[in-house]
Chains A and B, each alone.
Chain A
Amino acid sequence: MSTAAKTAELREIRGPSAFGGTWQRTWDLLWLLSVTEFRVQYTNTALGYAWSVLKPFGFFGVIYLVVNQVLRFGDLVENFPMMLILGLVLFQYFSESTNAALKSVSAKETMLRKTQFPRIVIPLSVNLSAAISLVFNLLGVFLLFIVAGLEPRLTWLLLPLIVVPLILLTTTLSMLLSVAFVRSEDFGQAWTLTLRALFYATPILYTLVIIPESIQPLIAANPLTPLIEYARVLVINPDAATPVDLVGVGAGLLVPLAISIAIAVGGIWMFNRDAPRVAEAL
């Protein structure tokens, strides 16, 4: 009758929250859930994790061959197929991650209703597992680039300067979307449309330099634009015109940065505000 439990002090329970609990527990859950999510994709396959690199290699390899050999766009813009592929990989992470996170809170309903844990774990784990996929996709794509004859460059090592901000942007936006979807499922339909529009409003099929000057500032305001444009500079063509060269520091860098910060602040604020009530709103 004299165990430690007997003398434990009363501590107030404040209900569920976005960030409550210890960092250790948040991280444990986050890591476990995202690794699980990543692993289950390959559990019943013979090749296992090899798929995680083979899949992007094959997928983007086909695009490379078609664009380069069949459509012969490679003759018009230097290294166009590689620019397209790099843009696609980054955008694919953005769209898959936000799409999965959008429904993540409502998909994990039982967990939310039956256990206590920091609610932030749910959208973050979806993002983390998508980020793990992104790393493997990039590995596959770099393999492809080398096979296709692209010269490896030291600036490749700077790619985290692009990938980390992209993950931050995607994650905070995911937080926003995941609680918005609980409020109204209309956001699910709306986001599908928005993603489609964003795909064309981001320099993936084109580069900023080839579009009419009048709409350059509009496209440059898209937070994804500088990320993809600078990724191309780092990986493929160090001499390419950057958004800053084309539309100036303000429109090319500060505007998308401001929009990104607004999304981040809004996402964290919204999630923090809604997290205590999501279990009952589901």
Chain B
Amino acid sequence: MPRPVAIEVRDVAKRFHVPGHRVPATLRARLKNPTGRTPGRYLEVFEGLSFDVEQGEFFGIVGRNGSGKSTLLKLLASVYAADRGTIRVAGRLAPLLELGVGFNPKLTAKDNVVLNGVMMGLTPAEARRRFDEVIEFAGLQDYVDLQIKNYSSGMKVRLGFAVMTHVDADVLLIDEVLAVGDAEFQDRCGDVFEQMHRDGKTILLVTHSMPVVTQHCERALLLHDGAIDTIGAPDLVAERYYNVNLSAILARPDHTLPEMSSQIVAAIADPDARISDSWIVDASGERTGEISQGSPINLRATIGVERSFEEAGFQFEIVSSDGRVVFASDRAELAPGGTVSAGQRLEVEATVENRLPAGRYTVKCKLFRGAGTPAGPNKLARLEVSGPKRGGSMLLDHEVSVSDASQESVTRR
């Protein structure tokens, strides 16, 4: 059943005026350009953009630099005005484009929380009521009365982020620049976004990170040169994103691309084989995205062969939310010593011991031809390991014993 629409964008067009540059203050230049400026020009960003976001959806917007992501976010946030078309939003919208908007270094944390909260759409009374919660979330209880010019940059980020998480809205526009800071902070941001999503909020997230898209988003939109390139499942969009990125690098006249990358582009543009699907199953063989900590991870994938080739190989990796490959499987031969043939359909089953701490991961499946040439695009599957949170990047069996040593030390003295 389709959910009601939260954001409706219809035929939106936007162009920016790029001012001309000042001409040099010489007589000849002035005679040519009496106004002292060259004529400006217009830069078209969108020429008719339409899409919908459903209520309660976690929606990702990706694209290369200059593709129009930020402009789109700012149009939705009422920072820019559209030249044409309509944008409609259901409910209260909060733009979270930057941490700590309106922070004044000479004010205390309390005053800044109120100021920033009101900038984000709270009333002053609401902002004051939430102050204790915000400060506790930021872990800055001991520094409430300090002017924030004396805060470290990390403390400022924490304070700004804490305010952001206490904003009331039905629709949240989030810019990835929010997720600055170390891996732990990024993880925390991810958790907060997930919590907002569970609370039924509609979330629009602009990001460059494909692991973030595949781990959080239900649907994503790839912008390319101001138009929708792809809209749909996150892994599909992520795949297209890599493709678009690499073709852009190849299109550069002076491109110096490592051999590997051009092979990847070739593999995506004209694959020998394609992983049509990859997914995680639970103990009963049902498709799932969540595995409890310690239970083995069962991976399934289906492969369609487009043309016959030799030495076909399959490999998968588990990637953590900060983009690190935490595990890479052995390569499995699809046709040991022989050839896979066009039209063949293959099924892969893999089981991995689960030593992963709770968190979000992506399983990346890859196809090879020969020693290491990519044979087709990678396929991503979402994996969430549930369980108590704990640091580190793997779980190892361990024993700790403690004995009372004080008796001994007393006698020695």
A interacts with B: yes
Which residue of the partner chain A has the closest CB to B125?
A28
Residues 1 to 58 of chain A near chain B (Cβ within 8 Å): 1, 3-16, 20, 24-25, 28-29, 32-33, 36, 39-40, 43-44
With A10-B5, A44-B106 as contacts: A116 and B200 at CB distance below 8 Å: no
Set B5, B55, B88, B95: member contacting A116, Cβ < 8 A: B95
Q: Which residues of A contact B55 (CB under 8 A)?
A: 5-6, 8
Q: A6 to B170, alpha carbons, bound, how many Å?
A: 9
Q: Which residues of B contact A281 (CB under 8 A)?
A: 17
Which residue of the partner chain A has the closest CB to B103?
A110
Contact indicator B123/A28 (Cβ below 8 Å): yes
Judge if A277 is at the interface, Cβ distance under 8 Å: yes
Contact indicator A10/B8 (Cβ below 8 Å): yes
Judge if A115 is at the interface, Cβ distance under 8 Å: yes
With A3-B200, A36-B111, A116-B79 as contacts: A10 and B106 at CB distance below 8 Å: no
Q: A73 to B115, alpha carbons, bound, how many Å?
A: 49
Q: Which residues of B contact A111 (CB under 8 A)?
A: 101-102, 119
With A3-B200, A8-B170 as contacts: A110 and B98 at CB distance below 8 Å: yes
Contact indicator A6/B115 (Cβ below 8 Å): no
Which residue of the partner chain A has the closest CB to B76?
A13
Q: A3 to B200, alpha carbons, bound, how many Å?
A: 8
Set A4, A15, A43, A277: member contacting B78, Cβ < 8 A: A15
With A5-B170, A110-B98, A115-B95 as contacts: A10 and B88 at CB distance below 8 Å: yes
Judge if A180 is at the interface, Cβ distance under 8 Å: no
Q: Which residues of A contact B56 (CB under 8 A)?
A: 1, 5-6
Q: A277 to B114, alpha carbons, bound, how many Å?
A: 28
Q: Which residues of B contact A277 (CB under 8 A)?
A: 81
Contact indicator B79/A114 (Cβ below 8 Å): yes
Q: Which residues of A contact B102 (CB under 8 A)?
A: 33, 111, 115
Residues 128 to 145 of chain A near chain B (Cβ within 8 Å): none
Q: Which residues of B contact A113 (CB under 8 A)?
A: 74, 79, 97
CB distance from B153 to the nearest CB of A (A): 16
Judge if A228 is at the interface, Cβ distance under 8 Å: no
CB distance from B53 to the nearest CB of A (A): 11
Q: Which residues of B contact A7 (CB under 8 A)?
A: 4
With A14-B81, A32-B124, A276-B81 as contacts: A117 and B88 at CB distance below 8 Å: no
CB distance from B411 to the nearest CB of A (A): 61
Q: Which residues of A contact B90 (CB under 8 A)?
A: 5, 8-11
Contact indicator B87/A12 (Cβ below 8 Å): yes
Among A12, A113, A116, the most chain B Cβ lie within 10 Å of the Cβ of: A116
Contact indicator B79/A11 (Cβ below 8 Å): no
Using C-beta atoms within 8 Å of the partner chain, give the interface range for chain A. Answer: 35 or more
Q: A104 to B79, alpha carbons, bound, how many Å?
A: 17
With A6-B56, A8-B170, A13-B88 as contacts: A115 and B106 at CB distance below 8 Å: no
Q: A10 to B202, alpha carbons, bound, how many Å?
A: 13
With A5-B55, A110-B98 as contacts: A16 and B78 at CB distance below 8 Å: yes
Which residue of the partner chain B has the closest CB to A112?
B79
1/0 per residue B1-12: CB within 8 Å of A? Answer: 000111010000
CB distance from B113 to the nearest CB of A (A): 12
Set B16, B75, B95, B118: member contacting A28, Cβ < 8 A: B118
Q: A19 to B93, alpha carbons, bound, how many Å?
A: 18
Judge if A151 is at the interface, Cβ distance under 8 Å: no
Judge if B247 is at the interface, Cβ distance under 8 Å: no
Q: A11 to B7, alpha carbons, bound, how many Å?
A: 9
Judge if B344 is at the interface, Cβ distance under 8 Å: no
Q: A7 to B104, alpha carbons, bound, how many Å?
A: 38
Judge if B360 is at the interface, Cβ distance under 8 Å: no
CB distance from A2 to the nearest CB of B (A): 9
Q: A104 to B362, alpha carbons, bound, how many Å?
A: 47
Judge if B292 is at the interface, Cβ distance under 8 Å: no
Contact indicator B111/A15 (Cβ below 8 Å): no
Q: Which residues of A contact B79 (CB under 8 A)?
A: 16, 112-116, 279
Among A1, A32, A39, A276, the most chain B Cβ lie within 10 Å of the Cβ of: A32
CB distance from A192 to the nearest CB of B (A): 20
Contact indicator A11/B74 (Cβ below 8 Å): no
Set B78, B101, B118, B200: member contacting A32, Cβ < 8 A: B118
Judge if B227 is at the interface, Cβ distance under 8 Å: no
Q: A279 to B97, alpha carbons, bound, how many Å?
A: 14
Q: Which residues of A contact B118 (CB under 8 A)?
A: 28-29, 32
18 A-B residue pairs with CB within 8 Å:
A10-B90, A11-B89, A13-B88, A14-B78, A15-B81, A16-B79, A28-B118, A28-B123, A29-B119, A36-B104, A36-B107, A43-B106, A112-B79, A113-B97, A115-B101, A116-B78, A279-B74, A279-B79
Residues of B whose CB lies within 8 Å of any CB of A are 4-6, 8, 16-17, 55-56, 74-82, 86-91, 93, 95, 97-98, 101-102, 104, 106-107, 111, 114-115, 118-121, 123-124, 147, 170, 200-202
Residues of A whose CB lies within 8 Å of any CB of B are 1, 3-16, 20, 24-25, 28-29, 32-33, 36, 39-40, 43-44, 110-117, 276-277, 279-281
